[in-house]
Structure 1
Amino acid sequence: MTARVLVAKPGLDGHDRGAKIVARTLRDAGFEVIYTGIRQRIEDIVSIALHEDVAVVGLSILSGAHVALTRRTVDALRAADAGDIAVIVGGTIPQSDVDTLLDAGAAAVFPTGTPLEDLVTGVRALTVPSATS
């Protein structure tokens, strides 16, 4: 079964070149990718994630609001009884915020400049069942 990944642009950030590159890279690596487009509300991202039965929600954030948007997304997924959906975050993320994002519930963080191979490997690790499961 192919893992489904939602790539979303929450908030008012209107720049989506990186999100489109990520979506295409994951698609080419064998994932089924749903891309929301720009300026999405957290509630809509969660609704799409549930409707599309995704394993991962990838947030692409360049606006500087990555901590608040990640917390709100994780909390909204948990409130929808979908806390098992992994949330990953990418974009303009200072290294000093990585631990804060992980503490907020992000499963992985991919700051600008992360090699695309590392992104694919990271998403694959979140979606492939372990041998002990």
Structure 2
Amino acid sequence: MSAGQEQRTIRCLVAKVGLDGHDRGAHVIARAFRDAGFEVIYSGLHRAPEEIVQAAVQEDVDVLGISILSGAHNTLVPTVIEGLKEYGAFEDTLVIVGGIVPDEDREDLMAAGVAEVFGPGTPMQDTIDFVRDNVPHR
């Protein structure tokens, strides 16, 4: 890579949407992303979909990682994606989901625009590699 082609740091928003109060996994992935050299912003708990969209747009993130364990993924995640589309930010944002998502719900999330769903026990390196391989080039 020449000096003019230096790779930009990947900016990630790790988000907790809805009433889900369990954030250990979000903290674990945020730390793994930081250790991998990504710039990480954490939303904090109990964020409305609109707040997640605003943060993703304002922070100009490359990756939005939604951590969800509440079972409300079929409602909340598509709402976030629709918000990104309204701001014209969806095409430039890799949306991934981590947490408890039943297999039968994965297809609908992917159809809504989620690039990948990572369940419990997914090796951190697999998630990091997926982000590096799929982050939109700007």
For the criterion TM > 0.5, the same-fold answer is yes
Q: Sequence identity of aligned pairs in percent?
A: 50
> Which consecutive segments of 4 or more residues in structure 1 shift more than 6 A?
none
What do residues 85-120 of structure 1 show as CA deviations (whole Å, max 9, x unaligned)?
121111011122211110111011111121111111
After TM superposition, the score normalised by the length of structure 1 is: 0.93
Does 1:73 find its partner at 2:80?
yes
CA distance in 2, matches of 1:17, 1:36: 13
Structure 2: tracts of 5 or more residues without a match: 1-7
- 1:4-43 alignment to 2 at 5 Å? 4-43=11-50
Bigger-Rg structure (1/2): 2
1:103 counterpart residue number: 111
CA distance in 2, matches of 1:68, 1:18: 21
- Contact 1:4/1:54 (CA < 8 Å) preserved in 2? yes
Does 1:120 find its partner at 2:119?
no
The structure 2 residue matched to 1:60, chosen from 64, 67, 80, is 67
- Contact 2:94/2:136 (CA < 8 Å) preserved in 1? no
- Contact 1:8/1:37 (CA < 8 Å) preserved in 2? yes
1:3 counterpart residue number: 10
Q: In terms of mean alpha carbon deviation, does 106-115 or 16-25 score higher? A: 106-115
Q: CA deviation at 1:45?
A: 0.7
The one-letter code matched in structure 2 to 1:40 is R
Corresponding residue pairs, total: 130
After TM superposition, the score normalised by the length of structure 2 is: 0.89
The one-letter code matched in structure 1 to 2:27 is K
- 1:78-93 alignment to 2 at 5 Å? 78-84=85-91, 85-93=93-101
1:118 aligned counterpart, secondary structure: helix
CA distance in 1, matches of 2:86, 2:66: 18
Give RMSD over aligned pairs.
1.3
